Amino acid sequence: MHRRLIVPSALAASLLLAIPASAADYKPGSPGIGDPYYPASGNGGYDVSHYDLRLKYQPKTDLLEGTATIIATTTQNLSRFNLDLGLKASEVRVNGKKATFTATGDHELEVTPATPLEKNRAISVVVRYAGKPSELKIGGWTAWHRTPDGGVAAQEPDSAVWWFPSNDHPLDKATYDVSVSVPDGTQAISNGVLQSQSSRLGWTRFSWRSNKPQATYLATLAVGKFDITTDKTAKGLPVLNAYSKDLGDNAGAARASLERTAEVAEWLEELFGPYPFNALGGYVPNVTSGYALETQTRPFYSPRQFANGANVSVVVHELAHQWYGNSVSVDRWKDIWINEGFARYSQWLWSEREGEGTAQELADHVYATRAADDPFWAVRPGDPGPDKQFDIAVYDRGALALQALRNEIGDEDFFAILKGWPTAHAYGNATVADFVTYAERVSGKPLAGLFDTWLYQPSKPAAPAAAEARIAARSRAAVKPAQPKSWKKIAATNTIHDHGDHDHDHGHGR
């Protein structure tokens, strides 16, 4: 007599899951994450949760030696996967076992583990590597700044490939431990909180921790000789600012700006909600570039930002990014308006707070000084294209869109949106479409037409009725629109998006 074995459905499912996948089920992860602006950026097949970087850097020779441990989870059955790295790897291990690897293109490291990796499994990847970052050119440019006493990694949309292996796209955020050994008398600055500092045999090691999700381009490293100031906010967050010792005439203005970091952050909390990270501060290295960058918890500022005196407006811009851009990051780089339009509008709100021109007066000034045939209006902030991603229109026309929204829905709903959005999407990624949906839900008004006009149409929008009335009144009185007092300071920060100068700068800009 034959008996039929009956297997409960739950058990049957578990048995099926236990059946090993065939070789055909394992495929390579994609060499890009799928961003149309930068097809080679990022990688597919895994998601990183933590980077542990143990580095040694010699300023005299620009030699960087590193061991990176990457903790990740597979998102598919992987036969191999890619990391983004421009420096030369000497050994790769996956889950403790030696893996084969090869460098392809200008920043792809193809890794083949000893055994294929199953989907939804935790993995560890250890990469030993070395090289001189300043000698590494990718697409003809470098994100590594050489300074008289060291080097700096700070650039957008990517800088990680110059100093550590990664999944180099904002979609894959992770926490970081960065430990750097440098010659005694030299300091190493990175993101987050300094965990320890110790010296041995002529070298000092600085260990930093950034404990909230962080995009790879927001990771920074600065090695040199700095004057450092420390403090704590009213809520107990550590504040650390660092200034190269050889800033010359810009030193005082830089300090007069950055030392107001905690004050600015407290004000921004009123607008955007609680500060999202574990530390505050900024640093000003002796570099020749002219831009600033919102590197997480510790923005990078070029000395040229302070060439004409103190400028707190640039500090406002980079700190606003801690909410808009860092905590809530782009889903794809075409969503850059959510970063830059909001950071620029924060400068307008700071002007309003300081009594140096309201946001409306600044909006009127921008609108009136840009003729209808100005190429400024041809740029679409909601999807500007990679060549215009950091165009001034993304900033100023992007801020105009927010003033138009404010006028349409009123201050109560507008400021509720400014504060609610970073909470709703904290530590995640979002699109322009996500923001439009959120604004419609909070305000209860249809807003697609407004955003289409200000973010997507390649032409100068018609002036709102209220603006027309203001312009007509000035015309009758033969009075030109007054330039708001804050305008020169705000305009001086336009170079925050100018990466076209010197060999250190990237044509895509910031």
Predicted confidence band at 494 (pLDDT cuts at 50, 70, 90)?
confident
- Please provide the average confidence, as pLDDT, over all residues in the chain: 92
Query: Is the pLDDT at 89 greater than 80, yes or no?
Result: yes
Query: Is the pLDDT at 487 greater than 70, yes or no?
Result: yes
- Between residues 274 and 1, the one the model is more confident about: 274
State residue 455's pLDDT score. 98
**Contact, 219 vs 295, CB < 8 A?**
yes
Please state, in angstroms and rounded to a whole number, the distance separating the CA atoms of residues 468 and 303: 40
Single-letter amino acid code for the residue at 57: Y
Task: Give SS3 for 462.
Answer: coil
Query: Is the pLDDT at 41 greater than 80, yes or no?
Result: yes
Q: Which of 346, 393, 326, 347 is nearest to 366 (CA)?
A: 393
Q: Which two tokens stand for residue 207?
A: 């260990």
Calculate mean pLDDT across residues 359-370: 96
State residue 493's pLDDT score. 87
Segment among 87-96, 186-195, 294-303, 476-485 with least mean pLDDT: 476-485
Predicted confidence band at 267 (pLDDT cuts at 50, 70, 90)?
very high
> Cβ contacts of residue 300 below 8 Å, gap of 6+?
152, 154, 220, 222, 282, 283, 285, 292, 293
Summarize pLDDT for 204-223 with one digit per residue, the tens. Answer: 999 999 999 999 999 999 99
Calculate mean pLDDT across residues 177-194: 98
State residue 507's pLDDT score. 33
State residue 321's pLDDT score. 98
CA atoms lying within 13 Å on the CB side of residue 315: 27
Burial degree of 509 (CB within 10 A; 0-12, 13-18, 19+)? buried
Query: Is the pLDDT at 289 greater than 80, yes or no?
Result: yes
Please state, in angstroms and rounded to a whole number, the distance separating the CA atoms of residues 119 and 127: 22
Stated pTM of the model: 0.92
Q: What percent of the chain is helix, strand and coil (3-state, nearest 5)? A: 35, 25, 40
SS3 assignment for 328-397: EEECCHHHCHHHHHHHHHHHHHHHHHHCCCCHHHHHHHHHHHCCCCCHHHHCCCCCCCHHHCCCHHHHHH
User: In angstroms, how far is CA 336 from the centroid of its own chain?
Assistant: 10
State residue 3's pLDDT score. 41
Calculate mean pLDDT across residues 456-470: 80
> Cβ contacts of residue 96 below 8 Å, gap of 6+?
124
Summarize pLDDT for 98-145 with one digit per residue, the tens. Answer: 999 999 999 999 999 999 999 999 999 999 999 999 999 998 889 999
Number of CB atoms found within 10 A of residue 25's CB? 13
State residue 22's pLDDT score. 72
Summarize pLDDT for 381-428 with one digit per residue, the tens. Answer: 999 999 999 999 999 999 999 999 999 999 999 999 999 999 999 999
State residue 467's pLDDT score. 63
At 343, phi and psi to the nearest 5? -65, -40
Do the bridges between strand 144-147 and strand 150-153 make them parallel or antiparallel, or are there none, so unpaired?
antiparallel
- Core vs surface per residue 329-360: b (16+ CB within 10 A) or e: bbbbbbbbbbbbbbbbbbbbbbbbeeebbbbb
Q: Which two tokens stand for residue 351?
A: 């002007």
Please state, in angstroms and rounded to a whole number, the distance separating the CA atoms of residues 113 and 84: 16
- In this prediction, what percent of the chain has a pLDDT beyond 90? 86
Query: Is the pLDDT at 501 greater than 70, yes or no?
Result: no
Instruction: Indicate the helix (H) or strand (E) that contains 254.
Output: helix 251-258
State residue 24's pLDDT score. 79
Number of CB atoms found within 10 A of residue 449's CB? 9
- Between residues 19 and 124, the one the model is more confident about: 124
Calculate mean pLDDT across residues 482-502: 76
State residue 472's pLDDT score. 62
State residue 466's pLDDT score. 60
User: In angstroms, how far is CA 273 from the centroid of its own chain?
Assistant: 19
Predicted confidence band at 349 (pLDDT cuts at 50, 70, 90)?
very high
